[in-house]
Amino acid sequence: MGNAGSKIIGILMLPFYTHYLSTSGYGTYDIVNTYSAVLLPFVTCCIADSIFIFPKDKSILDKTRYFTSGLIFCSFTLAIVLFLSYLISIAFPCSFIGRYVWWIVGLTFSTFILNYVQQFTRSIDKMIVYSLTGIVHVLAIALLSLVLLPTYKLNGYLLALIISSLISAVFALLFSKSLKYFRLKEYNKRHLIELLRYGVPLIPNTVMWWLVDGINRPIMMSEIGTDAIGIYAIANKMPGFISMLFVVFSNAWGISMLEEYGKKDFNLFFNRTMKNLVFVIAIGSSLLITCSKLMVSILASSEFNSAWKYVPILIVGVMFQYISTLVGGVFMAERKSKYFFYSSVLGATVSVLMTFALIKVCALYGVCIAVTLSFMCMAIVRIKYAWKSINLFDIRYYVFTFFVLILQACIYIFNWGVLVDIVTMVVSITLIVMLNRKELSAVMLLLKRIIKKDEL
């Protein structure tokens, strides 16, 4: 629940951010953030993902060895990156990378520290601390932005992001008492290899995620400019309201996958739970599509008003992304990270090809369509790979749900008026509820279970 609260605070700060950052400035931040996300898996070998899986239910000594070994390894790789960044800043001082390399490295380092400590906190079942860390993180961003952004603009915002991540990591370390698990003498090569064996195959998967949802940034910068990236970045923020719903479930979902996998009724549990989750998120998506124009006008300055036109397409894309993430829980439980990679290769290929094909014809609409198609392909191929464990999957249910949302999105983009938008929303929600009328009571029970698990 804490992460959902942090999402709310982050979105409510958008009017402040967009007041001091132009479309070009916000676009530049988005590019820096994207490059940091690409660098992160290479530098850390996705050990932050591994540290959630392996220490769980292990002895204190094993937990100490996993935690210590991962941190020492990443400290070494980050030191190498610092040296290479120094060389880049000297060799290419006038290029985009040369000018922003230290910001990219700073974001990468601070993001890793926060993610690593948070995932370990989850692994040792300190869920209250994990949730509170998300709130501390966004509150720190908000307060530091209030101080730094008006004076230092983009640099102030980037500095606020870096410092807030470090503050949040310290908070999680202290209150989860994770610091006691760091002992230099407990560095263990075998434990490190276990972390790397799981994490390294996730590197291409993470890079493919960037190719799915990030490769469009440099293409957009060369084809339609940083102003367009700023508009796109704001449009991409609006599905964050759906993320607030998803985040409530996703953490407990990952834990449930590990706990339920291998049991006799896992197939039934997975399909029933996933159907209920998609029902809740679909209702939220339908409401957000109708309110997207109002939300953009309230949460962003007038420079960003045109962003509403792209929100409905991105919401449909996010729905497909969540399907991919939920089905990916099976791969996590099976510890078969290679399937993340296979599915991401397809999604990345579709994203790259469709972005190049559509951006010159449809501009930002083309970018949004390309992203949505890539997430759709990823969802389909992950369902195929996981079919052995989830073969009770109700394909017709999901096809109908997405058909309703896509139709609503198309009608909204045509901008036929508020009355048409409201009628379309009511019809869409009615159809989705009728399709799920038997599951309504199960959804309420699921909500109670998720909230209870989140409080543990």
Examine residue 206 and state whether it is found in any structural domain, yes or no.
Answer: no
Angle between helices 311-334 and 240-260 (to 10 degrees): 10
If asked whether residues 144 and 239 sit together in one domain, one would say: no
Task: Say if residue 69's pLDDT is above 70.
Answer: yes
Give the model confidence (pLDDT) of 170-191 as tens digits.
Answer: 999 999 888 889 988 888 999 9
Together in a domain, 107 and 170? yes
Domain boundary among 156, 175, 200: 200
Report d(CA 5, CA 248) in Å as an integer: 10
Checking if the pLDDT of 441 tops 80, the result is no
Q: Tell me the two tokens of residue 187.
A: 């560095």
Co-location of 290 and 151 in the same domain: no
**Are 169 and 81 in a shared domain?**
yes
Q: Name 105's Cβ contacts closer than 8 Å, sequence gap at least 6.
A: 36, 39, 81, 82, 85
Position 395 scores a pLDDT of 81
- The answer as to whether 251 is a domain residue is yes
Q: How many domains does the chain have?
A: 2
pLDDT at 77 over 80: yes
Q: Which of 126-135, 334-343, 434-443 has the highest mean pLDDT?
A: 126-135
Report CA Rg, the chain.
22
Which of the pair, 11 or 364, is modelled with greater confidence? 364
Which single residue is written with the structure tokens 């909230």? Answer: 451
**How many CA atoms does the CB half-sphere of 254 hold within 13 Å?**
19
Task: Let me know whether 150 and 271 are in one domain.
Answer: no
**What are 190-237's pLDDT values in tens digits?**
999 999 988 887 787 677 666 677 777 888 887 888 888 889 888 888
pLDDT of 27 strictly over 90: no
Of 415 and 410, the one with more pLDDT? 410
Domain that holds residue 410: 215-456
My answer on whether 289 and 373 are in the same domain is: yes
Is 182 part of any domain?
Answer: yes
What is the per-residue pLDDT for 116?
Answer: 94
Please indicate, yes or no, if residue 432 is contained in any of the structural domains: yes
Say if residue 224 is in the same domain as residue 335: yes
Same domain, 189 and 50: yes
Q: Tokens in use for 357? A: 């094909």
Do 192 and 223 lie in one domain? The reply is no
Comparison of pLDDT for 433 and 438, the residue scoring more:
433
Domain assignment of residue 209, yes or no: no
CA angle centred on 1, ends 333 and 124, rounded to 5°: 45
Query: In this predicted structure, what is the pLDDT of residue 446?
Result: 57
Same domain, 302 and 353: yes
pLDDT reported for residue 244 = 67
Q: Let me know the angle formed at the C-alpha of 447 by 446 and 449, rounded to the nearest 5 degrees.
A: 65
pLDDT of residue 169: 94
Confirm whether 188 is domain-assigned: yes
Q: Where is the domain boundary, 200, 225, 251?
A: 200
What would the 3-class secondary structure string for 226-291 be? HHHHHHHHHHHHCCHHHHHHHHHHHHHHHHHHHHHCCCCCHHHHHHHHHHHHHHHHHHHHHHHHHH
Separate counts of helices (H) and strands (E) for the chain:
19, 0
User: Confidence band (pLDDT; 50, 70, 90) for 432?
Assistant: confident
DSSP 393: -
> Average per-residue pLDDT in the chain?
84
Q: Residue 254 to residues 167, 251, 279, 342: CA-CA distances in angstroms?
A: 26, 5, 19, 20
Q: Is the pLDDT of residue 9 over 70?
A: no
Looking at the chain, the whole-number percentage of residues with pLDDT higher than 70 is 86
* Residue (of 420, 330, 179, 364) closest to 338 by Cα position: 330
DSSP structural state of residue 126 = -
Q: How far apart are CA 6 and CA 147, in angstroms?
A: 19
Shared domain for 227 and 370, answered yes or no, is yes
Of the three residues 174, 200, 226, the one that is the final residue of a domain is 200
Q: How far apart are CA 238 and CA 285, in angstroms?
A: 10
Q: Render pLDDT for 235-287 as a digit per residue (tens, 0 to 9).
A: 888 887 777 666 666 666 666 776 767 677 777 777 777 887 888 888 888 88
Task: Supply 14's token pair.
Answer: 């958008």
Burial class (CB in 10 A: 0-12, 13-18, 19+), 63: buried
Same domain, 135 and 238: no
Q: Which residue in this structure is represented by tokens 């993340």?
A: 340
Contact 47, 196 (CB under 8 A): yes
Binning pLDDT at 50, 70 and 90, where does residue 5 land?
low
Confidence of residue 101 (pLDDT cuts 50, 70, 90): very high
Q: Answer yes or no: is 244 within a domain.
A: yes
Cβ neighbours of residue 368 under 8 Å, at least 6 residues apart?
232, 235, 310, 313, 314, 317
Domain membership of residue 208 (yes or no) is no
Is the pLDDT at 103 greater than 90, yes or no? yes
In contact, 30 and 152? CB cutoff 8 Å: no
pLDDT of amino acid 76: 92
The pLDDT value recorded for residue 449 is 61
* Three-point CA angle 231, 236, 239, nearest 5°: 140
* Helix pair angle (23-44, 96-123), 10° resolution: 60
Predicted TM-score (pTM) of the model is 0.74
Tell me the two tokens of residue 443: 């959804």
Q: Kindly report the number of other CB atoms within 10 A of residue 230's CB atom.
A: 26
Q: State residue 251's pLDDT score.
A: 61
Going by C-beta distance under 8 Å and a sequence separation of 6 or more, which residues neighbour residue 34?
210, 214, 217
DSSP state of 188: -
Mean pLDDT of all residues in 128-157: 90
